[in-house]
Structure 1
Amino acid sequence: MSGSLSSAPGAVRSRLPRRVTVLLPVLGLLVVALCGLFLFGLATARVGWLAVAIGVVAALVPVGVVVAGFLWVDRWEPEPAKLLLAAFAWGACVATITALLINSGAEAVGDMLLGSGAGSKVSALVSAPLVEEAVKGAFVLFIFWRRSSEFDGIVDGIVYAGFSAAGFAFTENIYYFGRAFADYGFGNGANAGVLAAFFLRGVLSPFTHPLFGVMTGIGFGVAARTRQKAVRILAPLGGYVVAVCLHALWNSSAILGGSKAFLTVYFLIMVPLFIGVFYVIVLQRRREQRIVAAALPRMAAARWIAPSEVELLGSLSGRRAWRRQARRESGKAAAKAVGQYQASVTELAFLRRQRLRTDDDRRRQDELLRTLRSARAEAVRLATDPTG
């Protein structure tokens, strides 16, 4: 929902030349498209188009679950859909091809310096954790730096990092699932090979890449909530270091330790860590609800919202019921207008929490108030005349 709000030009973006605001998205799409085509061609050359097609179908299952999970996290203050899509595309295309090129180089250097076969271990244990967590986190850094209005705290960091990592895992799974099919071909062995790969990467560990990336996202989320310069620098770096260490531990348990070490790391470290992160997410969602609930009475007193709407806007179930009623009585357009109105209320609640420290904050409040009033007027108009 906040995507409709963020389309209003902010103070920073309004100062950018139009040729920049138009060309940058186009260039970004071209880069993503070229990276995607290169990866598709490379995978097809290695395992064949049929194996790639099977890999795509198999990879859709775990990525669907992971993306749905991050959308659930992003309920109170949904991030712009276009930025979430960009994060996924970055991870699936740009981050993947960057990591592939650097890791391949590291493998070649390792083979040259340490002997044949050693390069793959160097790549998996050193290069992959350092490079992959860096390129996945690069998109979060971009949002944190250039779109600070869309970055309010830990939940936002988790969501952006999670979508970038989900895209990365999606492309990686396509190749691994496709390679398993190509190695075993048709027949009894194919079923066992593909199912084993799917169970390992799609059932047992679909959350590993997102979990590593979330560590970096949490670091940026902590940085977004502080004005201390040292914390704004050290928190993201700390999150990145944790992500790298977890990634290296995961890879080493699979490569060096055998099945016993792998299962030990999985059940004693990764699963508890996942549960811990989930608990943090639940706490942060409750914090977001408290921020909105605390702001609603003041917004009603300022006549930004109606007093009768305070209870409806104070819970996700109340908001959902309101949108459903609008859809049932007045159609999809009315439900969309109500959703936009609800999103602007949330954005205003988070902005008011900052006490309008800067002129940019005050300008953004004015933009959000215009959006709120426009959405309310549209919802009322459609409720009065659903035919438009």
Structure 2
Amino acid sequence: MPALSPKSVLEGRSSNRAPVPLIVGLVVSGLCLLLALGSYVLLVPGAPTNVVVGMLLALPTAIVLVALVLWIDRLEPEPRLMLCVAFAWGAGVALLGALIVNTAGESVLAVLFGPEPASALTVTVIAPVVEESFKGALLLFLLVVRRHEIDGATDGIVYAALCGLGFALVENVLYYMRGLAAPGEVWGTVLLRGVVAPLGHPMYTAITGLGVAYAATHRGAGRFFAVVLGWCGAVLLHALWNGGLTLAGFPGMVFAYLIEAVVLIALVVVLVVDRKRLVGQIGRFLPAYVPSGLVAPNDLRMLASIPGRRRARAWARSTAGVTGARAMGDYQLAATELALLHARAERRTISPERFFARRDAIVGLMRVARNAFFRRVPQAPQPPWARNQRSGFFAPPQQLGQLPNHRPGGNPWPPR
């Protein structure tokens, strides 16, 4: 059996093959995206030319916001394949499913109440419920299939935001196509959806993401209620925006915008607090590995900040080239995953067998990454943040001792 790659170890996989459920999800999402764009050709005059123009108008906003989400996810970045699945699900499965159900629902309501009431009910009631359900299904899928990758509120927000951005990208194409079909309306639509309120869909779904993140990191019946409450919050916020814009015009839009601004600030606060929580876990759990020589106090300070990690990779590149920089990046991510693993053990959301197997794999990766520096440059100068350091990442291999068989702050598992 071939050795696991660093990527496989970091993602907790037992082989180097990509997880089949994620590949299936990506393929299904791509097919749904093609079907959705094909339906636009049938629904909107001027297609397919306007499909291309609409996509070009929608892409800049999506690119900027996706970059922002990835920037938020720097300290403990999620697997790229999972991030692609989240975005593709929103752009494909969620968008096509919502388009079908919303259209069918509006047709039924039109028969019962007439066209105008049906349109208003669809926008303010049906669409928020349907769209947040389809987007939230992605988060439930990850909760079941890759629960161990959701380590806190930041992860829930990141996956939810990318799903929402995928949905918003393709939905904006439809709105921009409609604007192109009516001369003079397209730029107003671009201003509203691409500049004034581009965070709508990612922010709505982020509320569901918080509930799913709680469910992934806790035990007990509260997990179910957290997911339900998160979904209800997403639907309510979505309905508030749609209803304010549809039923109350500009004053309603201003009121809904203010509410969403408050929610956005709250989400930023949650992200900041969660970042501090992760840094605290690094400082709490990794010192137990100092006697083994795998980690040292200076390593902890480097791991606790993005600038420190960036300087470490730059130093590794300057002394050991691309291989050294890659090894430093592997070490940093593995050390972060090790701290998160201990946090899961403390919450008892991982079995003892899984804990020890995962810990041994991560520690092995950290050792291999460290040894890469000494094979390339045995007498490498110490980095500027680790003067007088004689252990940790830059320690000679012979200084490494035995791993701790207990955890600081209490040991839920029997010693090995």
Normalised TM-score (structure 1): 0.88
Taking the aligned partners of 1:88 and 1:173, their CA distance within structure 2 comes to: 15
Change (3 A) 1:295 1:51: same
State the partner residue of 1:366: 360
Residue 219 of structure 1 and its aligned partner are, at CA, apart by 0.8
Residue 4 of structure 1 and its aligned partner are, at CA, apart by 4.6
State the partner residue of 2:218: 226
Q: Which has the higher contact order (CA 8 A, sep 6+)?
A: 1
What amino acid maps onto 1:247 in structure 2?
H
Taking the aligned partners of 1:57 and 1:383, their CA distance within structure 2 comes to: 48
| Aligned-partner SS, 2:290 | helix
| Deviation larger for 255-264 or 339-348 | 255-264
State the partner residue of 1:265: 256
- CA contact 1:291–1:350 (8 Å) conserved in 2: yes
Is 1:205 the equivalent of 2:197? Answer: yes
State the partner residue of 2:245: 254
- CA contact 1:43–1:175 (8 Å) conserved in 2: yes
State the partner residue of 1:57: 56
State the partner residue of 1:86: 85
| Aligned-partner SS, 2:118 | helix
- CA contact 2:26–2:85 (8 Å) conserved in 1: no
Q: Deviations over 1:121-143 (max 9, x none)?
A: 22211211111111111111111
Residue 379 of structure 1 and its aligned partner are, at CA, apart by 4.2
Change (3 A) 1:52 1:225: same
- Of 284, 303, 317 in structure 1, the residue corresponding to residue 293 of structure 2 is 303
Normalised TM-score (structure 2): 0.83
State the partner residue of 1:5: 9
Give runs of aligned pairs for residues 70-219 of structure 1, distance below 5 A.
70-184=69-183, 189=184, 193-219=185-211
Taking the aligned partners of 1:373 and 1:194, their CA distance within structure 2 comes to: 57
Residue 300 of structure 1 and its aligned partner are, at CA, apart by 2.0
| Aligned-partner SS, 1:177 | helix
Taking the aligned partners of 1:355 and 1:103, their CA distance within structure 2 comes to: 43
Give runs of aligned pairs for residues 307-322 of structure 1, distance below 5 A.
307-322=297-312
**Structure 1 unaligned residues grouped into runs of 5+:** none
| Deviation larger for 80-89 or 169-178 | 169-178
- CA contact 2:281–2:340 (8 Å) conserved in 1: yes
Residue 278 of structure 1 and its aligned partner are, at CA, apart by 1.0
What amino acid maps onto 1:237 in structure 2?
V
Taking the aligned partners of 2:83 and 2:64, their CA distance within structure 1 comes to: 16
Higher helix share: 1
- CA contact 1:67–1:166 (8 Å) conserved in 2: yes
Taking the aligned partners of 2:326 and 2:252, their CA distance within structure 1 comes to: 51
Taking the aligned partners of 1:128 and 1:206, their CA distance within structure 2 comes to: 18
- Of 327, 331, 335 in structure 1, the residue corresponding to residue 321 of structure 2 is 331
Residue 306 of structure 1 and its aligned partner are, at CA, apart by 4.3
- CA contact 1:58–1:198 (8 Å) conserved in 2: yes
Taking the aligned partners of 1:114 and 1:163, their CA distance within structure 2 comes to: 36
- CA contact 2:208–2:234 (8 Å) conserved in 1: yes
State the partner residue of 1:43: 40
Taking the aligned partners of 1:104 and 1:380, their CA distance within structure 2 comes to: 63
What amino acid maps onto 1:257 in structure 2?
A
| Deviation larger for 36-45 or 164-173 | 36-45
Change (3 A) 1:281 1:2: farther
Taking the aligned partners of 2:295 and 2:254, their CA distance within structure 1 comes to: 53
Residue 380 of structure 1 and its aligned partner are, at CA, apart by 3.9
- CA contact 1:4–1:80 (8 Å) conserved in 2: no
- CA contact 1:326–1:383 (8 Å) conserved in 2: no
**Structure 2 unaligned residues grouped into runs of 5+:** 381-416
| Aligned-partner SS, 1:301 | coil
Residue 307 of structure 1 and its aligned partner are, at CA, apart by 4.7
- CA contact 2:10–2:333 (8 Å) conserved in 1: no
Residue 44 of structure 1 and its aligned partner are, at CA, apart by 3.0
- CA contact 2:59–2:169 (8 Å) conserved in 1: yes
What amino acid maps onto 2:13 in structure 1?
P
What amino acid maps onto 2:125 in structure 1?
V
State the partner residue of 1:279: 269
Q: Deviations over 1:328-373 (max 9, x none)?
A: 4433332222111100000001111234642112211112112222
- CA contact 2:128–2:235 (8 Å) conserved in 1: yes
CA RMSD in angstroms comes to 2.5
| Aligned-partner SS, 1:219 | helix
- CA contact 1:77–1:346 (8 Å) conserved in 2: yes
Residue 384 of structure 1 and its aligned partner are, at CA, apart by 5.8
Change (3 A) 1:80 1:276: same
What amino acid maps onto 1:348 in structure 2?
L
What amino acid maps onto 1:54 in structure 2?
V
Q: Percent identity?
A: 37
Change (3 A) 1:224 1:7: closer
- CA contact 2:208–2:230 (8 Å) conserved in 1: yes
